[in-house]
């Protein structure tokens, strides 16, 4: 009797599996295609970057990074990220708060605008700043008369970077804020908290992991951006070269190993980002499960 | 709360870093140059800093920016603060004078030899052993040949390449413009990629291994054959080519504002000195000075050279006829 039920059950299970899944052959073919693709196009080139970087040994590797021009590029890249990421955090919080909690005219326009940098080619993103602030641009004469440098200097690079990294934080926060809704904030307000307290103690804790995730993506792009920065940088060695621009320059100067040394540093930053990203995903997932379990137990 | 502190700290670090980069500036010159001069000015800048220190007691650092000549001129017009420009051809400096009025229009008269301290020409670079048997310009239009040359709209070297080929066909046909156009049309049919600058084209040919022949600056071709692609590529000298004169100029308005007029002028003058000429020759640019030319003469092949003035009536006209919007290049490059 027990045996019959068992076979009956498993055959039913098999049938249901057939209904939703492909045959094992298709499954393994798909998996191996995906794996082979990822290996040849993602992992292999990445491994090669490190391989090339260490081709001439550790001392050459560190020598290449210590070269004053490369070191200046590393510093510039960190500076740019340190300025543009906080700016986008502030903007992202403000915009997502406004979009998730309020109803107002032009809301859909704001959402579309936030996505604009995703749609626009980075070259265009750089060029718009040249057309505005370049010597022949709308504000060019005025800026020149007042000796303010924007294009081909750090401010221009920051602007271009902020532009291309604009959506990352806001895009990450909007769905989270929309999902949590306004009830908790309303409760806080009725309990006598002021707006600032509500933000610090209620809103921010509920979005913190999403925010961090957005910051990481934003930071990765800010450090890695090539196109837009290339247009506004002016490529002055040791002054307005960021790490990606420095990599290209070294490569063009037939200094392949040094180019790969700087590239490997960039790749390392990317891997670090990936690690932190995975950790946060795991953490949010766990928090979610813990919260679920807690509510289940209460029931 | 912690996060706010961290952000503040990050911002602080950022500001500090940008302040330190600013504090480093003593007297510095920005030389905005074209693509293949990287090695030349690396050597020359060191020599000049030393020379200037001995002469005036002041130290000067020279910053470089490199890229396609047309693109670099555009950047200077848009506000890249070059104290001096050392570009691939006179027209690109003319544009800076016309559009941005940063230097007088007669800039080319301010230094000897049309303000060109060194010259070069256009030659071919082919794969080891010349498997496709390329000897002269007319081999480039054969149907099974892949030619690498950069984009004449952005690269100065590419414009010299184009005019050298055009001039060759004009000479062969006794001045038949229609035939020369056909010739260029056939040539550009064989070009699989147009890089923005000469250096990009060289890496395409040598490092990425694309194409059968690279049309290149002589200095770039010698550099590639002796250093980068040693044993993989070799130079082929055509029967006739163009005398390329890359000019230099002080960008008056910028130099005046920076207070660098004197050192900028000395920087370009020193290119004509014995030391400057030797450095140019060592980096495979043809020197003007007799003594340097003699000393390094055997590294430059002998070939017939025509000038842009005698065949095309100068850069202004050549630019207008061939490279302006709707010019010959646009006509022949439409597929």
3-state SS string over chain B? CHHHHHHHHHHHHHHHHHHHHHHCCCCEEEEEECHHHHHHHHHHHHHHHHHHHHHHCCCCEEEEEECCHHHHHHHHHCCCCCCEEECCCHHHHHHHHHHHCCCCCCHHHCCHHHHCCEEEEEEEEEECCCCCCCCCHHHHHCCCCCEECCCCCCCHHHHHHHHHHHHHHHHHCCCCHHHHHHHHHHHHHCCCCCCCCHHHHHHHHHCCCCCCEEEEEHHHHHHHHHHHCCCCEEEECCCEEEEECCCEEECHHHHHHHCCHHHHHHHHHHHHCHHHHHHHHHCCCEECCHHHHHHHHHHCCCCEEECHHHHHCCHHHHHHHHHCCCCHHHHHHCC
Please state, as a whole number, how many other Cβ atoms lie within 10 Å of the Cβ of residue B278.
18
Q: Is the dihedral of CA B298, B304, B307, B312 positive or negative?
A: negative
Instruction: Count the neighbouring beta carbons within 10 Å of the beta carbon of residue B145.
Output: 17
**What's the DSSP call for residue A202?**
I
Whose structure tokens read 């902020």?
A162
Give the sign of the dihedral formed by CA A70, CA A72, CA A78, CA A83.
negative
Q: What's residue A1's pLDDT?
A: 39
* Residues B125, B114 contacting (CB under 8 angstroms): no
In this predicted structure, what is the pLDDT of residue B23? 41
Other CB atoms within 10 A of residue A186 CB: 13
Strands B248-250 and B240-244: unpaired
Q: What is the pLDDT of residue B10?
A: 54
Q: Which of A101, A221, A98 has its CA nearest to residue A161? A: A221
Q: Hey, are the CB atoms on A135 and B17 less than 8 Å from each other? A: no
pLDDT, tens digit, 9 for 90 and up, residues A129-181:
999 999 999 998 899 888 888 999 999 999 999 999 999 999 999 998 888 87
Q: How far apart are CA B284 and CA B293, in angstroms?
A: 11
- What is the distance between the alpha carbons of residues A65 and A288, in angstroms, rounded to a whole number? 42
Residue of chain B minimizing CA distance to A240: B65
| Chain A residues whose beta carbon lies within 8 Å of the beta carbon of residue B38 | 252-253
Provide the pLDDT for residue B4.
56
Distance from CA of B199 to the nearest CA of A (A): 6
Cβ B235 vs Cβ B206: under 8 Å: no
State how far the Cα of B222 lies from the Cα of B39, in Å rounded to an integer.
13
Q: What is the pLDDT of residue B335?
A: 54
How does strand B118-127 pair with strand B147-148?
unpaired
Q: Which pLDDT score, from 0 to 100, does residue B19 have?
A: 45
Sign of the C-alpha dihedral computed for residues B285, B289, B295 and B301 taken in this order: positive
pLDDT at residue number A19: 56
Q: What is the pLDDT of residue B154?
A: 87
- DSSP class per residue in A231-289: HHH--BTTTT--HHHHHHHHHHTT-HHHHHHHHHHHHHHHHHHHHHHHHHHHHHHHHHH
Identify which of B127, B315, B140, B219 has the alpha carbon closest to the alpha carbon of residue B149: B140
Q: Which residues of B touch A (CB under 8 A)?
A: 1, 3, 7, 10-11, 13-14, 17-18, 21, 30, 35, 38-39, 63-67, 75, 77-81, 99-100, 199-200, 203, 227-228, 257
What is the number of CB-based contacts under 8 A between chain A and chain B?
Answer: 86
CB contact under 8 A, A137 and B66: no
Q: What is the pLDDT of residue A290?
A: 84
Of A76, A82, A234, the CB nearest to B80: A234
Q: What pLDDT, on a 0 to 100 scale, did the predictor assign at position B2?
A: 56
CB contacts of A253 in chain B (<8 Å) are: 38-39
Which stretches in chain A have pLDDT values below 70?
Answer: 1-21, 299
Q: Can you list the domains of chain B with their CATH numbers?
A: 24-116+245-299 (3.40.190.10), 120-244+303-333 (3.40.190.10)
Q: How far is B78 from chain A (nearest CA, A)?
A: 5
Residue B5 is predicted with a pLDDT of 54
State which H helix or E strand residue A136 sits in. Answer: none
Q: How many CB atoms lie within 10 A of CB B99?
A: 15
Give yes or no for A140 touching B (CB within 8 A).
Answer: yes
| Rounded to 5°, angle at Cα B59 from B57 and B61 | 155
Q: Which of A73, A161, A235, A243 to probe the B interface (max B CBs under 10 A)?
A: A235
Q: Which residues in chain B are closer than 8 Å to A79, comparing Cβ atoms?
A: 13-14, 17-18, 21
- Whether residue A79 lies within 8 A of chain B, CB to CB, comes out as yes
- pLDDT 10s per residue in chain B (335 long)? 455 555 555 555 555 445 444 444 478 999 999 989 999 999 999 999 999 999 999 999 999 999 889 899 999 999 999 999 999 999 999 999 999 999 999 999 999 999 999 999 999 999 999 999 999 999 999 999 999 999 998 889 999 999 999 999 999 999 999 999 999 999 999 999 899 888 899 999 998 899 999 999 999 999 999 877 788 999 999 999 999 999 999 999 999 999 999 999 999 999 999 999 999 999 999 999 999 999 998 899 989 999 999 999 999 999 999 999 989 999 998 75
Q: Which of B1, B65, B228 sits opposite A234 (nearest CB)?
A: B65
């Amino acid at each position: 009797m027990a045996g019959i039920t068992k076979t009956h059950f498993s055959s039913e299970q098999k049938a249901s599996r057939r209904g939703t899944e492909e045959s094992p052959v298709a499954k393994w073919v798909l998996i191996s295609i995906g794996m082979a693709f990822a290996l040849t196009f993602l992992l292999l080139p990445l491994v090669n970057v490190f391989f090339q970087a260490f081709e001439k040994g550790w001392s050459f590797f560190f020598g290449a990074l210590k070269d004053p021009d490369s070191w200046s590029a590393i510093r510039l890249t960190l500076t740019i990220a340190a300025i543009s990421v906080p700016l986008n955090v502030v903007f992202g919080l403000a915009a997502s708060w406004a979009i998730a909690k309020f109803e107002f005219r032009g809301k859909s326009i704001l959402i579309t605008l936030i996505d604009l940098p995703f749609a626009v080619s980075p070259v265009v993103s750089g060029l718009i700043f040249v057309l505005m602030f370049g010597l022949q641009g709308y504000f060019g004469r005025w800026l020149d008369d007042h000796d303010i440098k924007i294009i081909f200097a750090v401010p221009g690079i920051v602007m271009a970077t902020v532009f291309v990294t604009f959506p990352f934080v806001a895009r990450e926060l909007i769905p989270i804020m929309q999902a949590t809704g306004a009830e908790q904030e309303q409760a806080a307000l009725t309990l006598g908290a002021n707006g600032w307290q509500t933000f610090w103690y209620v809103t921010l804790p509920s979005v913190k992991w999403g925010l961090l995730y957005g910051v990481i993506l934003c930071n990765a792009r800010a450090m890695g951006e090539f196109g837009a920065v290339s247009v506004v940088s002016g490529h002055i060695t040791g002054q307005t070269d960021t790490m990606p621009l420095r990599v290209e320059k070294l490569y063009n100067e037939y200094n392949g190993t040094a180019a790969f040394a700087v590239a490997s540093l960039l790749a390392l930053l990317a891997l670090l980002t990936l690690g932190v990203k995975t950790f946060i995903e795991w953490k949010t997932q766990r928090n979610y499960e813990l919260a679920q379990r807690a509510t289940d137990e209460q029931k | 709360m912690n996060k706010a502190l961290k952000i503040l700290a990050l911002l602080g670090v950022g500001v500090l870093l940008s302040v330190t980069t600013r504090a480093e500036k003593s007297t510095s010159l920005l030389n905005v140059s074209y693509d293949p001069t990287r090695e030349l000015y690396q050597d020359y800048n060191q020599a000049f800093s030393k020379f200037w220190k001995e002469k005036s007691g002041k130290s000067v650092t020279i910053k470089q920016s490199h890229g396609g000549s047309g693109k670099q001129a555009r950047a200077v017009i848009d506000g890249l603060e070059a104290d001096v420009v050392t570009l691939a051809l006179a027209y690109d400096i003319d544009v800076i004078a016309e559009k941005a009025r940063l230097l007088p229009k007669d800039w080319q008269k301010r230094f000897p030899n049309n303000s060109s301290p060194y010259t070069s020409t256009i030659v071919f670079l082919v794969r080891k052993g010349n498997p496709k048997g390329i000897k002269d310009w007319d081999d480039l239009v054969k149907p099974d040949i892949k030619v690498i040359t950069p984009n004449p709209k952005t690269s100065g070297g590419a414009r010299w390449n184009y005019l050298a080929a055009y001039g060759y066909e004009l000479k062969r046909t006794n001045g038949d413009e229609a035939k020369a156009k056909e010739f260029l049309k056939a040539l550009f049919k064989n070009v699989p990629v147009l890089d923005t600058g000469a250096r990009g084209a060289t890496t395409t040919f040598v490092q990425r291994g694309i194409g059968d022949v690279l049309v290149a600056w002589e200095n770039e071709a010698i550099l590639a054959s002796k250093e980068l692609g040693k044993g993989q590529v070799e130079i082929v000298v055509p029967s006739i080519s163009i005398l390329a004169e890359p000019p230099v100029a002080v960008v008056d308005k910028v130099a005046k504002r920076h207070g660098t007029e004197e050192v900028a002028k000395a920087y370009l003058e020193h290119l004509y000195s014995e030391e400057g000429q030797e450095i140019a020759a060592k980096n495979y640019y043809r020197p003007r000075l007799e003594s340097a030319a003699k000393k390094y003469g055997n590294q430059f092949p002998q070939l017939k050279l025509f000038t842009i003035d005698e065949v095309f009536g100068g850069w202004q006209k050549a630019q207008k006829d061939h490279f302006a919007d709707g010019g010959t290049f646009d006509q022949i490059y439409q597929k």
